[in-house]
Structure 1
């Protein structure tokens, strides 16, 4: 085959061509453009007197150079009597996107924090990516990815963005294994960001928070309520913990003698064990709860040995007509500790189990400033108790 019969197109021509039909690059490789202007690479060959068309991938995902490499491989297969379509079909039965996605989740699962994280990956790649699971992973195009993402992009943007990232990871892994070539059709920067609107993100600190000046009065009102959600929320505020850490707290995490709550790494956002000093009022709550059994979850549901619902504290705040979020109380504590105390930035940040942003400092820090944090949390408890009157007694929520 002469050089003149190969490489007839240039990358610029491939990008600018718009006329529907097949445009030959030579050697059986064509750029096919449909009536809607969508472009894809196809390989044409004749076998047993029949003309066969084999799709290689979209132009946006497969560069001209990569398409030529694929065509050269198929020509070599034909030269030794092989049948490209049959060989690709045989591969497709075991190299679908779904099979690659399942293999990726299984391979990565040991590196993830917990089983819930793995379950979320598996669910999104099974439920939301269902339209492409049976497709050959090497044939997944940008349009395929868009068909999966667009129904979710405006309705549930956070889910859609997570799904996009997971599809991108699966396709990257498939490419490393040699199961596909070309650009990743799920890549965001310089690719999908040209086709999908950027999601409006909540900036850090947007959780509605109570002013620390109002905290004593709020805590006094909260102490009047006897519901489980009220005790859980009070405990959360006094410890500066996240809602998931409080709701999942079990009795074996509490050291009553040392007055310490140790949250295991698997339940922490940063994936590291976190010790929480328990102030006097927090220990009172623990003592009250221990009278109910002291087994399983500290804040269980009333009907079963299950943790309190994740919505229980939010619904309590709604009934109290506060207009704030549960997570916002961490900001309340942080504002108070910065503006009303002399404790260092590091102590305040560690009280919230925040990671140290400075990598050099993080590498040299060995302690967790526990005793200083205990003094900080006792001061916070005392400040919160400022609005409590001795005559007040709990009432139902």
Structure 2
């Protein structure tokens, strides 16, 4: 017979502590006012406390009835109630839901909005079609391998990133109780050579257009102005990453000083970067201003006024019949600077916002080589805009470049 009465339970809700009713049933009241029923049982020679619900919702008589059913399920039927509850909870959360929850909780601490978008987009492209709507608890190594095989050899770096992100989501699901076990290990069944084929090919660099072909290519782009074409031309002329161009806004541009200050959240390294604008780059901005869409501050907006996709710039290249990559133009710029100029490597690296490889050198280097970079970018803009005829196209400007602190 139970020791507690309904009145004692009511009074207990005001005083933190543990109150025994008998046969393993007890009420636990914490210092914050929370009160829950538990039944203590023995399962596989281990003592376990099974939660029965809040004492504010479950009455004393109901808790006693639930305790009897729990003891019967374990002692007579041999069931593991806790494991069953975990499975039920896990089956309610899909891999897609777990990934979106992880993304929402962690994106604020990532280096840029672009990286956060790309993180989730890679799962949308390569994982969700395979098992996005299945319970996170059910995803096995074989499912992950099936999703990775189409890209594992052709896009090895992407394949490794997606593998890591899938496992991150599964471990997150495990920590939240949505999955009964951790993700398969990348040193086990997901290791190249075990469940996945070895990536034997050398790392493939993005194809870069020869710098000698750039003037004629840009001349072709100018025959039919569009935001996509202008964005690609601006990317080439500034040696920028495509994300920096796609997210660029008009308030980042200082026309008087002829400078573009790209904020840290748009940069790969998370640090603001100042880009000297050549006359050729300013000419692109003038054309973009003439096409400016109402309701957006983006310099090169997509059709909806939102940032255009990275695939938009690649499509411009493919429509022109070019097999090169957008990112490859940074290599094109580097090759041109090495062959046709006398600028130091440090100036060229600074123009591309590259990290100084030597830590000691980086600690002592304080200059951003802005004045030298301005001359470098002006020379590159003049060359790239020569129209393939060996002559430099000069763009009129009433602005005078000013040094920016």
Q: TM-score, normalised by structure 2?
A: 0.63
Distance 1:360 1:325, change over 3 A: same
Distance 1:362 1:75, change over 3 A: farther
**Residue aligned with 1:262, SS:** strand
Q: Which residue of 2 aligns with 1:300?
A: 301
Q: CA deviation at 1:320?
A: 3.5
Counterpart-to-counterpart distance in 1, 2:339 and 2:86: 64
Q: Which residue of 1 aligns with 2:145?
A: 150
Query: 2:371 aligned with 1:375, yes or no?
Result: no
Query: 2:237 aligned with 1:238, yes or no?
Result: yes
Q: What root-mean-square deviation, in Å, do the aligned CA atoms of Structure 1 and Structure 2 show?
A: 3.9
Q: Which residue of 2 aligns with 1:57?
A: none
Distance 1:280 1:73, change over 3 A: farther
Q: 1:133 aligns with which of 120, 132, 135?
A: 135
Q: Deviations over 1:144-166 (max 9, x none)?
A: 42232233233344566444312
8 Å contact 1:240–1:352 — kept in the other structure?
yes
Q: Which residue of 1 aligns with 2:323?
A: 323
Query: 2:196 aligned with 1:167, yes or no?
Result: no
| Structure 2, unpaired ranges of 5+ | 1-41, 51-70, 395-405
Q: Which residue of 1 aligns with 2:279?
A: 280
Q: Which residue of 2 aligns with 1:86?
A: 81
Q: TM-score, normalised by structure 1?
A: 0.64
Q: CA deviation at 1:360?
A: 3.5
8 Å contact 1:109–1:118 — kept in the other structure?
no
Q: CA deviation at 1:240?
A: 0.5
Distance 1:370 1:78, change over 3 A: closer
| Structure 1, unpaired ranges of 5+ | 1-71, 393-397
Distance 1:332 1:131, change over 3 A: same
Q: Which residue of 1 aligns with 2:46?
A: 76
8 Å contact 1:266–1:272 — kept in the other structure?
yes
Q: CA deviation at 1:282?
A: 0.9
Distance 1:291 1:117, change over 3 A: closer
**Residue aligned with 2:378, SS:** helix
Distance 1:360 1:173, change over 3 A: farther
Q: Which residue of 2 aligns with 1:249?
A: 248
Distance 1:77 1:201, change over 3 A: farther
Q: Which residue of 2 aligns with 1:345?
A: 345
Query: 2:284 aligned with 1:289, yes or no?
Result: no
